[in-house]
Structure formats: structure tokens, C-alpha cells
Amino acid sequence: MKKLLNLIMIAALLMFWACSENADMDPQPEVPINEFPENFYDTASLTTILKTLGDTIPSWEALARFTNEAEYLELPAFEKRALAWFNPDGEENEFNNPEYDYITNLINYNQSLIDDFGSNESAALFTSVPPYGGPDGGEIIVPYPLDHLDKKLRATTVLFLREKEMGLPTVFVNFYPPFIDMPVFNSKSEFETWFVEKYLPEKEAEAKAAEMMKAEKYIPWPLEFELFITQLGGIYDDGFLANAPEEEILEFANDFKNRVLSTVKAQYNGIVVAHLYTNYEIEERRFWNKMSYAGFDELEFAIFPPFDVATTNTYMDFQLENYQKIIENSGNLPWVASEVSVFEWYVEDGKLEEYERDMYQAAFNKLLNASNPPRGISAAAGYMKTQAAKNYLKEFFDAN
């Protein structure tokens, strides 16, 4: 079961350290870090600062001339987001162009998702900027130590403000890398110590930064909520919620959710998103449809179409029926279909290229024809294997 959860976690983390094959060089020449003029941050553009992040990350004081002027952008009437993809197996990224440095490739790759698919929201993510490892270049530690997190947040602010400068609304989320071993707690008291000393301080720091950069949306957990609670409580892994009745799991989940929401709402004035997923075709997981996320500003539901077109249609009916219950429980919050992702490991063996386009079409048709359709759709554009699927997504975005 733990292996299955890890696979789902990988499926959820669509955007990691992206690179590009297109060239769009900044007209301002790059300057070696040891030759920076003293007033560099007083005059440099966000693009120029972004390209220096591999050498140095500006202080909050240096960023103040940008953050002081930052404003929330108006969201599109229908949100269309093309999600990036980094291969979690570590294979070479097909978008990496050796002619350019990493940051230039990143800039171009993010832009290609806008240009190639006609999306109207940024594909940029917290995970794509330095520091890439953990403290002192060691292994990544989550929750991030606060001094290390602060560096990451300052780099993200440069990236996100540049996206906003181009008119692209942003979604801030600290997705933990899929190769990280998530904690499993054997007792409620052990969890409580971690939650108070490690997790809530991380969320508070993130929320403060999200407000400074005016990220339009903020997701305050590193994995879809139901999967995160399942992991922390060790529901299928001998943790303190293993064999617990549904009522106890929901009570714990609600307390976790409310304390996180209270913490981030105290710092951040944008759209706080409850990012959700469980497979409602599995009967033992249907109790999650009793949850309410009242107090949040938006719901985002992940969707992972399985096997083939017929199975996708059945799956979508189950998901939408149960998603609607959560929407109603939550006071009819607006919602977005996020991470609509046809992944090879969920598709009939050897049939991805044959089925990919039609499985996306089946999922999107169900979404648009739902009794309460979403106000936006995100899709795993960067993972798509066939030109037919890519063309379909572009045509869908163009028509909507």
C-alpha cells in the first residue's frame, strides 16, 4: 500500500525543475556575480535577477522595490493551465537545451507551455528554483528548515513576480519532492510535536511570502489532502490512525485542516485552495466525501483517468458525484479540475499512445457536461506523449 501511495504522490507532483528546448535570451547581458555593481538590485529587471539565482538569491530588502508594487491579478473567467513535467526517474529531460543555462531553459520551457497550448495561467513552481538541495547542499529536508525555506521563498518570489509581470496569474504550492520519505507517526503526540514545531511554521512562512509576492492562489499542503492525512496517520502503514474508525479519521483531518487554514489566513489575503484527491471507486475511501472545506476560497480536485476510455467514463462519474458532495458540504465553493493527467502507469499496458487523446477527451467532456462544471482545467501537458493529445489540449483551450 505504501508503494501505491508513493506512486500516487509521484503522479500528483507534475511540475519539477523544468528545462526548455527553445531560445529566448534576455537582451540584457549576463554579468558574472563577482562583477555585479553595488547598485545591481536597484536597477536590474526581474528577468536579469532570475538568471543570477544560481549564483546569489536577493534579500527581501533587495526585492522590496518589486514586492511593494505587487498586486493580485484578476483571474481569467475560465482558467486554463498547462502543467510542466520533470521525469521523477531522473532521466534526461527532453526540454533541456545544452546551449543555454538552466534558468534560461526554465524560462523558455514555462513560456512554451503558454505558447504551445494557449494556457492563461503560469506554469511556474516553487520547486524549479534554487536552492535545489537541502541545507549546505545536503539532502532535502521537509518540512524545510526555516532559514533554508526563506532562501527558496525569495527565489520563488523573483520567478513568480516575473510571471505576473507578463500578466500570468500564479499558483503557489510547496509540493514535497516525490522521492522524499514522508513521515508516518505512531502516536498522536508524536504528530502534534511535528505539526507545531515543523509544519505550521513552514506554512506561516509560505503564507507570508505568498502575500508579499501576491501569488493569486496558495495551496497550504504538499500533497492532495486525503493522501497527506492517510500518509501522516499511517492509515495503511501501521500509524496512529491505522484501523481507526472513519469518524476518528475525519475528526483528525478536520482539526488539521482548520489549524492550517487559520495559520495561513492570518498572513495571506489571496485565494487559499483546498487541493484534494481520493479514488471514490474504492468503497472504503468514500467517507472522505463527508468533509467540508468551508472557509477556504476554492476547491481543486485532481483527476487521473484510468485504463481506457470506457473505464475513464465510469471513473469520472464516480469522481464528479462525490466531488459535488464535497462542494455542497463546503458552501458551494468555486472549483477547478486540477492535474487532469493520463499517466502511462494507469493506462492499459502498451496502449497509452493509442488511448491518450481519447481519454483526455472523455474526461474533459464529463467535466464540461457536469451539473456543476469547473471554472477551470489544468492538464499534464508536459507529460503528454502523443501529438494527437497535445493538439487536442490546444484545441480545447482555444475553444474555451
Residue 12 confidence (pLDDT) above 80: no
At 18, is the pLDDT very low, low, confident or very high (cuts 50, 70, 90)?
Answer: very low
In this predicted structure, what is the pLDDT of residue 86?
Answer: 63
Tell me, what CATH number does 203's domain have? 3.20.20.80
Residue 66 confidence (pLDDT) above 60: yes
Residue 10 confidence (pLDDT) above 60: no
In this predicted structure, what is the pLDDT of residue 31?
Answer: 41
Is the preceding omega at residue 131 within 30 degrees of 0, hence cis? yes
At 93, is the pLDDT very low, low, confident or very high (cuts 50, 70, 90)?
Answer: low
C-alpha cell at 43: 536597477
Mean pLDDT throughout 64-92? 85
Separation of alpha carbons 342 and 55, rounded Å: 37
Domain span at 387: 2-399
Separation of alpha carbons 333 and 274, rounded Å: 10
Quickly list H helices, the chain.
2-12, 40-43, 46-51, 60-67, 102-117, 146-165, 188-194, 200-213, 225-232, 246-265, 309-329, 352-368, 387-399
Place of cell 468533509: 291
How many domains are there within the chain? 1
Of all residues in the chain, what percent are helix, strand and coil, respectively (each to 5)?
A: 50, 10, 45
**Number of residues that make up the chain:** 400
- Start-to-end CA span in the chain (Å): 39
In this predicted structure, what is the pLDDT of residue 15?
Answer: 38
Phi, psi for 98 (deg, rounded to 5)? -65, -10
Residue 164 confidence (pLDDT) above 70: yes
